[in-house]
Structure 1
Amino acid sequence: MNPETILMMKETASMFAFLAVELTLLFLVISYLVGILQEFITPQKIQAMLSSRNGRGYVIAALLGSITPFCSCSTIPFLKGLLRARAGFGPMMVFLFASPLLNPIIIGLFVVTFGLKVALFYFVVAMGVSVIAGYMLEKLGFERYVRKEAYTLEDTVTSCCDTKPSSFASTCCETKSTAVANSCCDTKP
């Protein structure tokens, strides 16, 4: 093989390893921070702030997306937290679109590369498109495509006879199915 090709392959593998570690750590840290925030900010506060009943929730979601220095990989855990808190669907979509588009690093690069006018134009257009897209998706009823499991916390089952209700149909303690004679959940000997 050509020495230049080998060098490019080494650089590619090195960049892949670096990005894999960086994005994995970023995903885990953001997931942890979202969990901490959920302990201090009640779902009722999130629902009130990001309600889709008035236009304020859409604007707050767009501004929240614009100040979060996240790429799409770390936006997903944040969005999962909004889903669990039952924020409005439209504002959640606005956040999902605005977060990577209005990333402060991208806006900074626009200012340095193209100047303040172009950066402001990009910011206004990206924010407007995000708000319109979120509003349209909500009005067209796209919330029905969100899986019901996305709104719930994942419960870990410590035993097959756990007393907590399970949201999954394949567990051995499912209350809707009939118990098999010698199952782990059968109370009779």
Structure 2
Amino acid sequence: MSVIGNFFGFLNDQLLKMTWLSELVRLLVEKVFGLSIKERLGGSIHFFIYDTIKIFILLSILIFMISYIQSYFPPERTRKILGGIKGIKGNILGALLGTITPFCSCSSIPIFIGFTSAGLPLGITFSFLISSPLVDIASLLILASFFGAKIAIAYVVVGLILAVIGGTVIDKLGLEKYVEGYVREIENVEIEEMEMTREERISYAKEQVRDIIKRVWLYVLIGVGIGAAIHNWIPQSVVENVVGSNNPFAVLLATAIGIPMYADIFGTLPIAEALFGKGVGIGTVLSFMMAVTALSLPSIIMLSKVVKRKLLAIFVSIVSIGIIIIGYLFNAFSYLFI
């Protein structure tokens, strides 16, 4: 068993954490730039170069793989799958289908409109809307590269649970009348599904990689830059006093800070990594990430054009409360994951 464990540990270090890349960047910083990575400037440069390259390598590979799989689930087919299932099963399936859509929250809203106009139950569409930006296969593997498999799996599981519970509550409250009228009136044209060839699926996956990289590259660089600053320039005592375990309101603060931001999980990961490295509780870190990805201000503004204020307020309240509960629970039981 120890041999198997060592083998998977080796794969995790080399493929996900990319320790080989970290060593190459260390040599670049120390031998070419003449800086020690143990000092602030050298450490910041190492953090920035290493995390940027690692994220873009993982993003390119994982989005290609996910997009290839996603090519088997176009919106028309997804609507048909969801249309035949109701109740909690529908919410679970809606949340799971959200995991194969590598979109940010804003990109998920047009699909949400399509599902709603097609007459799918409101709870199922909201389960999809919560899950889509929050959890996917790429986030699972990239989270594992930063925080380890236990935390990554736990994050995905609680994200799915939040999506299912959120959609179920909205479904039980019977809030269909709070969807803007024009959404229901949108004509849904039945489009004949075209079976793609292997070459077409590869081409589609490549295009998705290019499209998503174009949309997220700036947020990744900003996130890595902020992460490098936190990791090397902000004293640990300051971070601990603001969002550390000494502050009982740390989870609330992290959630409140995350909501106005606009980024996806890939842009928030370097910040989360730096906060975690400074001793911030894992629950606080995850609450920040979830707030940024599921409740970004631009997505809320877009959603306000689709649903009325009461439904929007209920959606934001349910997700916010869920994120806060998850944060405190992870902090309380962090010994199970670290």
| Same fold? TM cut 0.5 | yes
Deviation readout 1:128-185 (Å, 9 max, x if unpaired): 101101111222x234524xxxxxxxxxxxxxxxxxxxxxxxxxxxxxxxxxxxxxxx
Counterpart of 1:145 in structure 2: which amino acid? F
Counterpart Cα distance in 2 of 1:25 and 1:93:
22
Mapped pair 1:30 → 2:210: no
SS of the aligned residue for 1:113 comes to coil
1:150 is aligned to none
Q: List aligned pairs for 1:6-25, cutoff 5 A.
A: 13-25=206-218
2:337 is aligned to 145
Counterpart of 2:337 in structure 1: which amino acid? Y
2:280 is aligned to 87
SS of the aligned residue for 1:81 comes to helix
Instruction: Work out whether residues 304 and 312 of structure 2, in 8 Å CA contact, stay in contact via their aligned partners in 1.
Output: yes
Alpha-carbon distance, 1:18 to partner: 2.2
Instruction: Work out whether residues 255 and 323 of structure 2, in 8 Å CA contact, stay in contact via their aligned partners in 1.
Output: yes
Mapped pair 1:46 → 2:235: no
Report the TM-score, using the length of structure 2 for normalisation.
Answer: 0.37
Q: List aligned pairs for 1:124-135, cutoff 5 A.
A: 124-135=317-328
Deviation readout 1:86-117 (Å, 9 max, x if unpaired): 11333222112222111112211221111222
1:117 is aligned to 310
Out of 55, 58, 67, the position equivalent to 2:251 is: 58
Alpha-carbon distance, 1:32 to partner: 1.8
Alpha-carbon distance, 1:77 to partner: 0.7
Instruction: Work out whether residues 102 and 123 of structure 1, in 8 Å CA contact, stay in contact via their aligned partners in 2.
Output: yes
Deviation readout 1:17-64 (Å, 9 max, x if unpaired): 121344344323320232235555322121111133453111101111
Instruction: Work out whether residues 52 and 90 of structure 1, in 8 Å CA contact, stay in contact via their aligned partners in 2.
Output: no
Deviates more, 1:101-110 or 1:87-96: 87-96
Counterpart of 1:108 in structure 2: which amino acid? I
Report the TM-score, using the length of structure 1 for normalisation.
Answer: 0.63
SS of the aligned residue for 2:327 comes to helix
Alpha-carbon distance, 1:76 to partner: 0.7
Q: Which ranges in structure 2 are unaligned for 5 or more consecutive residues?
A: 1-194
How many pairs were matched up? 143
Counterpart of 2:318 in structure 1: which amino acid? V
Alpha-carbon distance, 1:126 to partner: 1.1
Counterpart Cα distance in 1 of 2:237 and 2:246:
14
SS of the aligned residue for 2:305 comes to helix
Counterpart of 2:334 in structure 1: which amino acid? F
Counterpart of 2:254 in structure 1: which amino acid? A
Out of 296, 299, 320, the position equivalent to 1:106 is: 299
CA RMSD of aligned residues (A): 2.8
SS of the aligned residue for 1:67 comes to coil
Mapped pair 1:73 → 2:266: yes
Counterpart of 1:75 in structure 2: which amino acid? T
| Larger helix proportion of the pair | 2
Instruction: Work out whether residues 26 and 74 of structure 1, in 8 Å CA contact, stay in contact via their aligned partners in 2.
Output: yes
Counterpart Cα distance in 2 of 1:136 and 1:37:
25
SS of the aligned residue for 1:114 comes to coil
* Larger of the two Rg values belongs to structure: 1
Instruction: Work out whether residues 70 and 99 of structure 1, in 8 Å CA contact, stay in contact via their aligned partners in 2.
Output: yes
Counterpart Cα distance in 2 of 1:41 and 1:117:
41
Alpha-carbon distance, 1:13 to partner: 3.9
Instruction: Work out whether residues 52 and 89 of structure 1, in 8 Å CA contact, stay in contact via their aligned partners in 2.
Output: no
Counterpart Cα distance in 2 of 1:44 and 1:120:
36
